[in-house]
A and B are shown apart, each in its own frame.
Chain A
Amino acid sequence: MTTTTSETRGGAVVPERKSVTQTTANWIDERTSISGLVRELGRKIFPDHWSFMLGEVALYSFIVILLTGTFLTFFFQASMAEVTYDGSYLPLKGIDMSAAMSSTLHLSFDIRGGLLMRQIHHWAALLFVASIGLHMLRIFFTGAFRKPRELNWVIGFVLFILALAEGFTGYSLPDDLLSGNGLRIIDGLVKGIPVIGTFTSYLLFGGEFPGTAIVGRLYTLHILLLPAILVAALGVHLLLLVINKHTQFAGPGKTNDNVVGVPIMPVFAAKAGGFFFIVFGVIVLMATFFTINPVWLYGPYDPSPISAGTQPDWYIGFADGALRLVPSGLGFQIGDFTFALNVFLPIVVLGLFIVLVAIYPFIESWVTGDKREHHIADRPRNAPTRTAIGAAGVVFYAVLWAAASSDLIATHFSLTVEGVILTLQILLIVGPIIAYLVTKRLCIGLQKKDREIALHGYESGRIVRLPGGEYIEVHEQLTDYERWRLVSFEDYKPLMLRPNAKGQISPLERARSVLSGWFFEDRITPVTTHELEQQHHAGHGALEGDSGTEIESGHH
């Protein structure tokens, strides 16, 4: 089809031959004004870095979950009505089970591609939670949660919690032995909450555990309520991403006031769109070759049997581990009431932990008092205390997570369960402290190294003997572009306590000062122009005519 372009600005549309695309675009725009949106966003710039893909993986795996989950709903029956299984899986033929379990088996073994869809759904869910976790770590360690992105951090945190909830509710739907025991643990956990626990469990299960209501209720949560909230929160998350624009790492030409990268149309769209298909493809490949959650091996839920080495899905591990690490004998009876501290303590500890994660951006901004916008992502080493806190948090989580496999660790490495638990109990306290100290030292060490390289260049390994007999090592100087990456970072000083207008120092300000000291007492300042110039003219015997290299006596 030939196209004739016609200027229609200001005038009536001249009826000319137009391509289908033009006609369609015109039709849509005249009804939606969408051209404005395309103009605004079409050439929006996205910076490129491999770590920026983690959030994309989360987004794409969520789309995969929505697609496959919708397929599954056409076959799954969220009912605990008892049926006798009569499908193609012979080992369970004739066994009484719930309609939920039976329909899960049916869609796995009697529907072509059903097993594949179930496995894609489950693998995508695991990838979803994992990529959210890694995405959060990326944001944390690069300080990308700082103003103006604190709110988006909180929304992202909500998404993480929703992902966990989605995972757990979905995992429990088939009503198999393993997930039923998971629900039993939830029942025990809820009952352990003081005052409201018993009744909450009663409401949740619609009577006594297990009842006949829980699968249907979890199904409503899993496919209606939680996804609706998740999609809404995700929408706000992405909207804020567009409004705030993406952070970028420091680099030559990149500043706090610009975004350097590729435009949405066409490069980013092609890369991101292509990446969606790659993520989808890899998930399908996993579902093709690796069995996940073989509920047919576990059998239907029954309150008395259980197998050794029971494990929740990995993302619930940290909570299960917390339950295991509680010392014996916590809890007591007061009058007519029982306070189950052995169950309530891990709930409180985990609650505090995740609340700390959620509000960390506000803590840090309170400590620094920094009200500026930050669009340059930190290198983790350039924020030693934050990085060390993050490392401590990671270790704390990792120990809890490892504890969820305490029995398997014991059997695989021929250790005693008691020894493994005791070790993990100690590690839970000591591990984060060690991680904090080591990480902080490492960061400061790396910063020193950066400073050294920025000022003196790389050791080239070339030893030169001067006419006077002195041996020196030739240092390769950095280019300005290379140096910029090492010297451009933010620097903070510890807060000086000053009395306010009334001549008083408030306790809050005192606390802030203590925290600020903790954060910034040990710091390496960025290289200044003055220092660079000094270094250039230091008279360490720069060789004439050997530009680009600096010679430095090897005494430091």
Chain B
Amino acid sequence: MAQHDDGVTTPDSGAAGSPVGSTVALSSESGTGVVPLDSVENPGFPPHNPRQTNLDPKKDKNAERQVTFLFFLSIIGSVFALAAYMVFPIVPGDFGSIRENNLFLGLGITLGLLGIGLGAVHWAKQLMREDESVEYRHGTRGTEETRAKAVEVFELGDQESGFGRRTLIRNSLIGALVLTPVPAVALFRGLAPDTDPTALLNHTMWKKGVKLTHDPTGVPIKASDVTLGSAFHVIPEGLNQRSDALEQKAKAAVLLMRLQPEDLHVTKGRETWNYEGIIAYSQICTHVGCPVALYEQQTHHLLCPCHQSQFDMTHEARVIFGPARRPLPQLPITIDSEGYLIARSDFHEPVGPDYWERHV
């Protein structure tokens, strides 16, 4: 084996078949590992097969040209990208110009990068030294001497400071260190307002007399506009004017639909919650809060597109499939004197996903 000055040896062809010496005695426990006594012996490095570029000067020259060509291609690519930046500007309103800008700029940069990459790899594979080198491993643990020294360092540190001896100092320091980050953690309480989240989650914008309006226009809906089989996205009147419109909408969004009154299975106490077959249900899935927006007109099923919970609207939105646990809460509605749909009250239970403090 050829020995290099850095301790790396090269298995040249002369070394083929030579036994491989072990420099590190890894004598740790093998556990249930079987240490075979007559395992097949490592045959050593196989003879080296030189590659074409080493045998044929012409091929060597060719490879050199190819590498140079690839690097040149990269230069062309980068120049092309610069040119494309100028030649293909974005024209406001012209979607095609964005596409061209993206395409030609991207192609130029791609060429600039791939040229370098392919060139370098080609160079390494065809022209740089190809035979493999060997480096010896040493056990990862430090030598016994080093470890003894390290232990000594700690012992000296302990002696000189009295860390182990002066227990009062040590323990009070530990106590102090444990407590210092606590104020910093407490500061993060400021991430949320001081108000109680539960109170907010229990109520929505709906209350007695609030008009049901179209989402997102806010135009009130007349009962007579809601034809059989139709479904509307609904928000409470005045939502768009609020500064916290999105937070309110995330709780108050409602789906309105009209079924044949005889198709509805109304439980006791909810007889007055629908108006002539017009029903309003929270649109926020009781699973994890996606809007349950897919209405199957024929089956009267509502489907949540996120996790496929299905609710049967003829049976007060009971869950018929999927991970949701509870029916969608119903919004009690009626009409006002002008025939507009209005809420009778807020929802009778918190809307949306389960949370720990939720109870009805």
Give the contacting residue for B321; candidates A45, A365, A418; CB below 8 A. A418
In the complex with contacts A304-B293, A338-B356, A530-B38 CB distance below 8 A: yes
B43 within 8 A of A: yes
Binds B, one of A71-79, A221-229, A261-269: A261-269
Q: Are A203 and B188 in contact (CB under 8 A)?
A: yes
When distances are taken between beta carbons in the complex, the residues of chain B under 8 Å from A116 are 101-102, 105-106, 109
Residues of A within 8 A of B112 (CB): 281
CB distance from B61 to the nearest CB of A (A): 19
Within 8 A of A (CB), among B301-360: 305-308, 319, 321-325, 352-360
Task: Indicate whether A198 sits within 8 Å of B355 (C-beta atoms), given known contacts A274-B118, A372-B30, A528-B36.
Answer: yes
Q: Which of A11-19, A389-397, A477-485 contacts B (4 or more CB under 8 A)?
A: A477-485
Q: Which of B114, B246, B324 has the most CB of A within 10 A?
A: B246
The one of A45, A110, A266, A331 that contacts B90, using a Cβ cutoff of 8 Å: A110
A303 to B113, CA, bound (A): 43
CB of B231 within 8 A of chain A? Answer: no
A304/B291 in contact, CB under 8 A = yes
Segment at the interface with A among B205-213, B219-227, B282-290: B282-290
CA A204 – CA B94 in complex, angstroms?
Answer: 40
A369–B31 Cα distance when bound, in Å, is: 4
- How extensive is the interface on chain B, given as a class? 35 or more
**A399-429 Cβ-contact flags toward B at 8 Å (1 or 0):** 0000000110000000001100100000000
Q: Are B307 and A324 in contact (CB under 8 A)?
A: yes
Set of chain B residues within 8 Å of A544, measured between Cβ atoms? none
Once A337-B359, A375-B137 are accepted as A-B contacts, the answer to whether A252 and B45 lie under 8 Å apart by CB is: yes
Known contacts A113-B85, A368-B32, A274 near B354 by CB under 8 Å: no
Cβ-based interface call for B134 (8 A): yes
Residue on A nearest B200 in the bound complex, by CB: A208
The distance in angstroms between the C-alpha atoms of A112 and B99, with both chains bound, is: 10
Query: Once the chains bind, are A113 and B101 in contact (CB under 8 Å)?
Result: yes
Report if A511 contacts B (CB, 8 A). no
A469 to chain B, nearest CB (A): 36
Q: Across the interface, do B93 and A253 meet the contact criterion of CB distance under 8 Å?
A: no
B102 touches A115 (CB 8 A): yes
Contact yes or no, B135 A369, CB < 8 A: no
Contact B46 A252 (CB under 8 A): yes
Is A209's CB under 8 angstroms from B121's CB? no
- Asked whether B157 is an interface residue with its Cβ less than 8 Å from the other chain, the reply is no
A485 to B294, CA, bound (A): 59
The CA of A287 and the CA of B128, in the complex, are separated in Å by 33
Q: Give which listed residue, B40, B124, B193, contacts A528 with CB less than 8 A.
A: B40
The listed residue (B34, B201, B307, B323) touching A492 by CB distance below 8 A is B34
A375 to B122, CA, bound (A): 29
B273 to chain A, nearest CB (A): 21
| A406 to B310 alpha-carbon distance, docked (Å) | 14
Query: In the complex, which residue of chain B has the Cβ closest to the Cβ of A512?
Result: B32
Residues of A within 8 A of B308 (CB): 324, 406-407, 417, 421
Residues of B within 8 A of A342 (CB): 287, 323-325, 354
Per the bound structure, the CA–CA distance linking A305 and B234 in Å amounts to 11
CA distance A432 to B109 in the complex (A): 44
Q: A112-B85, A271-B121, A304-B253 are in contact. Are A526 and B39 (CB under 8 A)?
A: yes
Given A271-B120, A306-B305, A484-B42: A209 and B288 interface contact (C-beta under 8 Å): no
* A493 and B34 within 8 A (CB): yes
Residue of B nearest to A532 (CB): B40
Asked if A199 and B197 make an inter-chain contact with CB atoms under 8 angstroms apart, the answer reads yes
> Which of B23, B118, B124, B291 meets A305, CB within 8 Å?
B291
In the complex, identify which listed stretch (B4-12, B146-154, B160-168) lies at the interface while the others stay far away. B4-12
Contact A370 B354 (CB under 8 A): no
A280 at the interface (CB under 8 A from B): yes
Inter-chain CA distance A276–B105, complex, in Å, is 20
Asked if A277 contacts B114 (CB within 8 A), the reply is yes
Cβ of A527 to closest chain B Cβ, rounded Å: 6
Whether the Cβ atoms of A343 and B288 lie closer than 8 Å is yes
* Interface presence of A30 (CB below 8 A): no
Are B114 and A39 neighbours in the complex by a CB distance under 8 Å? no
Mark contacts of B75-99 with chain A using CB atoms, 8 A cut-off: 1 yes-contact digit, 0 otherwise: 0000000000100111011110010
Residues of chain B with a CB closer than 8 A to A480's CB? 17, 43
- Out of B36, B188, B216, which one reaches A526, CB within 8 Å? B36
* Contact of A69 with B by CB under 8 A: no
Looking at the assembled complex, report how far the CB atom of A152 sits from the nearest CB atom of chain B, in whole angstroms. Answer: 11
Residues of chain A with a CB closer than 8 A to B102's CB:
113, 115-116, 119, 288
Q: Whole-angstrom distance from the CB of A320 to the nearest CB of chain B? A: 8
Give which listed residue, A187, A194, A263, contacts B289 with CB less than 8 A. A187
A148 to B95, CA, bound (A): 56
- A328 touching B90 by the CB < 8 A rule? no
Residue in A275, A303, A329 with the greatest tally of chain B CB atoms within 10 Å: A303
Which of A44, A333, A488 contacts B40, CB < 8 Å? A488
- Which B182-215 residues have a C-beta within 8 angstroms of A? 188-189, 191-193, 197-198, 200-201, 215
Assembled-state Cα–Cα distance A90/B93 (Å): 7
Q: Is the CB of B323 within 8 A of A324?
A: yes
**A207 CB contact (under 8 Å) in B31, B113, B128, B247:** B247
Q: Is the CB of B287 within 8 A of A288?
A: no
The residue that A303 contacts in the complex, of B42, B139, B249, B359, with Cβ under 8 A, is: B249
- A531 CB to nearest B CB, Å: 9
The reply to whether the CB of A302 lies closer than 8 angstroms to some CB of chain B is yes
- Check if A124 is an interface residue, CB within 8 A of chain B: no
A336–B335 Cα distance when bound, in Å, is: 35
Complex-state Cα separation, A307 to B288, whole angstroms: 16
Interface residues of B in 110-127 (CB under 8 A from A): 110-114, 116-125
Assembled-state Cα–Cα distance A462/B313 (Å): 74
Q: Is B176 in contact with chain A by the CB < 8 A criterion?
A: no
Which chain B residue lies CB-closest to A416?
B321
Q: Does chain A have a CB within 8 A of B300?
A: no
Instruction: Across the interface, name the chain A residue whose C-beta is closest to B40.
Output: A487
A43: interface (CB < 8 Å): yes
| Chain A residues, CB < 8 A from B94 | 88
Given contacts A189-B288, A257-B24, contact A369 B29 (CB under 8 A): yes
Which residue of B110, B129, B193, B359 contacts A288 across the interface (Cβ within 8 Å)?
B110
Whole-angstrom distance between the Cβ of A457 and the nearest chain B Cβ: 15
A195 in contact (CB, < 8 A): yes
Q: Can you add 5 more A-B contacts, CB < 8 Å, to A323-B287, A324-B322, A368-B31?
A: A90-B93, A192-B288, A207-B193, A259-B134, A421-B308
Give me 12 A-to-B residue pairs in the complex whose CB atoms sit less than 8 angstroms apart, sorted by A's number: A184-B288, A253-B44, A257-B136, A260-B11, A281-B114, A287-B106, A303-B253, A303-B291, A328-B324, A338-B355, A417-B308, A516-B32
Interfacial residues, chain B to chain A (CB-CB below 8 A):
4, 6, 8, 11, 17, 20, 22-24, 26, 28-34, 36, 38-46, 85, 88-90, 92-95, 98, 101-103, 105-107, 109-114, 116-125, 128-129, 132-137, 139-140, 188-189, 191-193, 197-198, 200-201, 215-216, 233, 235, 244, 246-247, 249-251, 253, 283-285, 287-291, 293-294, 305-308, 319, 321-325, 352-360
